[in-house]
Every structure is written in structure tokens, then in C-alpha cells.
């Protein structure tokens, strides 16, 4: 996650608009790796279901799995700062 947050998405914060951009960017990168044959695991803070649904649509149903973990946003922000 640090690579995405501190590289590709370094210009983004924790607003809803920025979180949606982060999900889209991470989804695009995951898709590139997946198309090259890699198994890709991505952990994201995604408050808006629509952003994740857009990424899901770029994969075949059997190629996209979601696991939901509830975590306070303050903890997620702390992890991002490390």
C-alpha cells in the first residue's frame, strides 16, 4: 500500500473525491499486473461503493474478489503516514 499511497497517489488525501481517484488508479494498476498473469491483492480505503463497482466492471466476475474489513478511518490515516 505504501507504494500506491506514496508514489502513484501521493497527490491525494482522504476526501471522498480523492479516495475515489485512489481506487480508480489502484484498480488500473492491478488490472495491468493481472493481465500479465500476476495474482494481485489490493488493500484500499473505499468509502464509496460506486468507485469499487467501476473497478469491478473491468474484470470478469471470477477474477475479482472482495473482502470487507471494518477499520476506523483514523487508523487508516495513521497507516498512510508511516
73 is a catalytic site residue: no
Residue 74 has pLDDT above 90, yes or no: no
d(CA 45, CA 25): 13
Catalytic: which of 15, 46, 73, 74? 46
Percent of the chain's residues with pLDDT above 90:
15
Counting Cα atoms < 13 Å in the Cβ hemisphere of 35 gives 8
How much is the pTM? 0.71
Which pLDDT score is estimated for 1?
46
> Phi and psi for 72 in degrees, rounded to 5?
-60, 140
Which pLDDT score is estimated for 35?
93
d(CA 10, CA 22): 9
CATH number at residue 44: 3.40.50.300
- Structural domain boundaries, residue 20: 2-81
Residue 66 has pLDDT above 70, yes or no: yes
Q: How many domains does the chain have?
A: 1
Amino acid at each position: 500500500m505504501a507504494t500506491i499511497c506514496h508514489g502513484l497517489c501521493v497527490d491525494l488525501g482522504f476526501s471522498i473525491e480523492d479516495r475515489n481517484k485512489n481506487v480508480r488508479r489502484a484498480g488500473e494498476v492491478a488490472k495491468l499486473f493481472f493481465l500479465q498473469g500476476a495474482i494481485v491483492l489490493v488493500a484500499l480505503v473505499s468509502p464509496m461503493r460506486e468507485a469499487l463497482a467501476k473497478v469491478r466492471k473491468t474484470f470478469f466476475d471470477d477474477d475479482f474478489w472482495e473482502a470487507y474489513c471494518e477499520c476506523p478511518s483514523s487508523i487508516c490515516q495513521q497507516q498512510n503516514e508511516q
